[in-house]
């Protein structure tokens, strides 16, 4: 095995953080990020460990900059109280 090859753990982390940050746009965004890093390929298998580490770090920075998800107790604040006749 190539010691510079992307690991399965890196690949899983890349996709997990990417989906969290980009949601349904992740497949396209992920391919664009890989292509940027590799000079055209959209396959993580064409990347090195170091390249993947850079992309994961970039995604984690974006993830950390996201506003926190609302707490369940904030639902009334966000959406108003349920209707009076709510069953």
* pLDDT for residue 11 is more than 80: yes
Q: Which region among 7-11, 45-49, 51-55, 77-81 has the lowest average model confidence (pLDDT)? A: 77-81
Spell out the residues 6+ positions from residue 55 whose beta carbon is closer than 8 angstroms to its own.
14, 33, 34, 37, 47
Residue 19 to residue 39: CA distance in whole angstroms: 23
Q: Which residue has the higher pLDDT, 40 or 82?
A: 40
Residue 48 to residue 38: CA distance in whole angstroms: 9
pLDDT in tens, 19-66: 999 999 999 999 999 999 999 999 999 999 999 999 999 999 999 998
pLDDT value for 82: 64
* Whether the predicted model's global pTM rises above the 0.85 cut: no
- Going from the C-alpha of 84 to that of each of 53, 72, 75, 81, 87, the distances in angstroms are 52, 20, 16, 8, 9
Backbone φ and ψ of 79, nearest 5° = -115, 0
């Amino acid at each position: 095995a190539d010691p510079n090859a992307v690991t399965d753990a890196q690949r899983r982390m890349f996709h997990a953080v990417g989906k969290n940050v980009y949601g349904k746009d992740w497949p396209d965004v992920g391919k664009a990020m890989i292509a940027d890093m590799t000079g055209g390929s959209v396959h993580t298998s064409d990347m090195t460990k170091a390249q993947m580490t850079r992309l994961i770090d970039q995604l984690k920075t974006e993830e950390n900059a996201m506003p926190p998800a609302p707490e369940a107790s904030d639902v009334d604040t966000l959406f108003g109280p349920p209707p009076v006749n709510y069953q």
